[in-house]
């Protein structure tokens, strides 16, 4: 919508600006034309008045239409205005044309109403106006004249007729043609400029951003995921291009991280399996040495029994490692039942009583008392909490405190059971935090850490439809928050 709004705004502003410019130019031209027209009108008005007066003097006293027509032709010729006078019509007192210079309108009525005729007949006004006469513009002049006289009882009544003089007005036709040409020129200029603007806007705001977007898609299609983050055009398409480029880079980074995690996982599995296998191999070699003699003493049998027990122990360890690996790579099966989460936490903490006392770690419980019926797999959540408490203790080699806080959070669509386990330990560096949930990633390899605890914990939490969040700062401790869904708000 922003692109459409900006596009329309620019085009509309351009049209308004161009039209305003043309209006100003047109106004200046009209002012100049009006000044020139006024000068011409003064000269033309004098000429028209002189012609009208001469024609009236000539016509008055004549009664024969043919004689009037002859006199008019003779008069116009003698005045040398044949090219300017289009026609002269003479009417009787009823406005009917009885004589004409050209004979075109004889018998017709002059286009003026009775009230206008009477006003002209009284000498109150003369009419000067532009009119269209036989497809050409003319200046129409209508004046009265004495057509006849009647004797009344006490006075002589003079009947008035009308003289219609039609003078050519070529300036009007030329002006209108010029005006049409100017306006056509304005339209053409506006159309050309508008087409140019639309082309520029479309190129800058649509075509180029789309070309960048297509380039990103083509790069990704060819397997080139290392799309450079460059400055794309502003606007919706530019933001989409930038977002797509960022997303492709994130996909590549996630892919690389997944490969690295897979490598670490393979390395971790190999490392975990290697130790029991080495132990088994060494024990088997020892057994071979025992059984290689001709006689087997009772003491040798005891040593062999111990070796077999050691082998059995290592085989069980291999079995556990395999089970952990399989558990990590398949969705866990959940046995959901309503559980008192705070009671479950207390059961887990009871297993650490001796460890907590030895490590000089105090546990501060802050229970809300509202998590009595949380639907969870009790054993799996127990293991997840166990792993987090164990990590918290190991993060405080010099002692400290563990704060365990529970809340019942009410969201927009669902209620959640929130469990926060926070320690005052050494904290986790920022560069390591994104990897702490990866399988076989550990910072305690020397202490025998495998790196599966947090990975399995996250898997269990997500299998419940929950989530786990990490917050940590070096030197200030670490906080893990588990959120487990209780029920939907509509339930």
Domain-located, residue 371: yes
List of residues 6+ apart from 272 with CB closer than 8 A: 321, 450
**Pick from 403, 384, 381: nearest CA to 476:** 403
Query: What is the helix (H) or strand (E) element at residue 33, kind and residue range?
Result: helix 2-59
Query: What is the span of the domain harbouring residue 346?
Result: 336-488
Residue 279's alpha-carbon distances to 266, 282, 291, 443, in angstroms, are 20, 5, 18, 24
Domain final position from 168, 193, 219: 168
* pLDDT at residue 481 in the model: 95
Domain final position from 107, 142, 168: 168
Q: Are 415 and 409 in contact (CB under 8 A)?
A: yes
Residue 237 — very low, low, confident or very high, per pLDDT cuts 50/70/90?
A: low
Question: Which residue is listed with tokens 């556990």?
Answer: 320
Question: pLDDT tens digits for 116-140?
Answer: 777 777 765 566 677 888 878 888 8
Q: Is 234 exposed, middle or buried (0-12, 13-18, 19+ CB in 10 A)?
A: middle
Q: At 435, which CATH number?
A: 3.30.565.10
Question: pLDDT tens digits for 431-478?
Answer: 888 888 877 677 665 555 566 778 888 888 998 999 999 999 998 999
Q: Are 466 and 411 in contact (CB under 8 A)?
A: no
- The alpha-helical segments, DSSP class H, found in 292-448 are 298-328, 341-350, 353-359, 378-394
Domain-located, residue 300: no
Q: Are 421 and 479 in contact (CB under 8 A)?
A: yes
User: How far from chain centre, in Å, is Cα 210?
Assistant: 14
Q: Is 249 exposed, middle or buried (0-12, 13-18, 19+ CB in 10 A)?
A: middle
Domain-located, residue 69: yes
Question: pLDDT tens digits for 140-161?
Answer: 888 888 765 554 455 545 567 8
Domain-located, residue 449: yes
**Pick from 91, 89, 94, 98: nearest CA to 66:** 98
Q: At 90, which CATH number?
A: 3.30.450.20
Domain-located, residue 455: yes
* pLDDT at residue 60 in the model: 79
Domain-located, residue 475: yes
Domain-located, residue 347: yes
User: 225 has which bridge partners?
Assistant: none
* pLDDT at residue 152 in the model: 47
Domain count, the chain: 2
Q: Is the pLDDT of residue 59 over 50?
A: yes
Domain final position from 168, 191, 207: 168
Read off the DSSP letter of residue 398.
T
Q: Is the pLDDT of residue 110 over 70?
A: yes
Task: Give the C-alpha separation, 137 to 86, whole Å.
Answer: 10
Q: What is the dihedral of CA 108, 113, 118, 124, to 10 degrees?
A: -110
Average pLDDT, the chain: 78
Domain-located, residue 243: no
Read off the DSSP letter of residue 203.
I
* pLDDT at residue 360 in the model: 92
Q: Are 156 and 150 in contact (CB under 8 A)?
A: yes
């Amino acid at each position: 919508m922003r692109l459409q709004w900006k596009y329309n705004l620019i085009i509309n502003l351009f049209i308004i600006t161009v039209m305003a410019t043309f209006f100003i130019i047109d106004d200046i031209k009209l002012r100049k034309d009006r000044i020139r027209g006024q000068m011409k009108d003064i000269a033309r008005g004098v000429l028209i008045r002189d012609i009208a007066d001469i024609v009236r003097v000539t016509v008055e006293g004549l009664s024969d239409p043919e004689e009037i027509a002859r006199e008019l032709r003779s008069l116009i010729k003698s005045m040398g205005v044949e090219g300017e006078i289009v026609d002269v019509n003479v009417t009787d007192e009823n406005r009917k044309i009885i004589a004409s210079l050209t004979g075109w309108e004889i018998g017709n009525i002059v286009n003026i109403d009775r009230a206008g005729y009477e006003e002209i007949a009284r000498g109150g006004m003369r009419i000067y106006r532009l009119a269209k006469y036989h497809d050409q513009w003319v200046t129409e002049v209508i004046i009265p004249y004495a057509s006849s006289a009647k004797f009344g009882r006490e006075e002589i009544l003079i009947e008035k007729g009308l003289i219609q003089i039609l003078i050519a007005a070529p300036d009007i036709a030329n002006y209108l043609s010029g005006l049409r040409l100017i306006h056509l020129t304005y339209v053409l200029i506006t159309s050309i400029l508008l087409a140019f603007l639309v082309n520029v806007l479309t190129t800058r705001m649509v075509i180029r951003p789309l070309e960048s977007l297509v380039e990103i898609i083509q790069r990704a299609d060819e397997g080139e995921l290392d799309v450079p983050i460059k400055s794309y055009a502003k606007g919706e398409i530019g933001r989409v291009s930038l977002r797509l480029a960022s997303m492709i880079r994130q996909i590549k980074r996630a892919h690389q991280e997944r490969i690295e995690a897979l490598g670490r996982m393979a390395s971790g599995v190999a490392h975990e399996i290697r130790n029991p296998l080495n132990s088994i191999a060494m024990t088997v070699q020892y057994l071979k040495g025992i059984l290689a003699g001709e006689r087997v003493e009772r003491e040798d049998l005891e040593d062999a029994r111990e070796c077999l027990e050691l082998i059995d122990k290592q085989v069980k360890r291999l079995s556990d490692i395999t089970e952990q690996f399989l558990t990590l790579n398949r969705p866990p099966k959940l046995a959901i039942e309503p559980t008192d989460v705070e009671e479950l936490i207390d059961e887990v903490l009871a297993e650490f009583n001796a460890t907590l006392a030895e490590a000089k770690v105090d546990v501060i419980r802050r229970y809300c008392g509202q998590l009595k019926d949380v639907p969870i797999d009790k054993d799996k959540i127990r293991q997840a909490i166990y792993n987090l408490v164990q990590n918290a203790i190991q993060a405080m080699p010099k002692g400290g405190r563990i704060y365990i806080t529970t809340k019942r959070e009410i969201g927009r669509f669902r209620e959640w059971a929130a469990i926060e386990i926070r320690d005052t330990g050494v904290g986790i560096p920022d560069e390591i935090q994104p990897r702490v949930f990866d399988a076989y990633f550990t910072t305690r390899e020397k202490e025998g850490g495998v790196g599966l605890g947090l990975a399995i914990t996250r898997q269990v939490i997500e299998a419940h439809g929950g989530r786990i969040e990490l917050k940590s700062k070096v030197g200030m401790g670490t906080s893990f928050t588990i959120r487990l869904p209780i029920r939907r708000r509509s339930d």
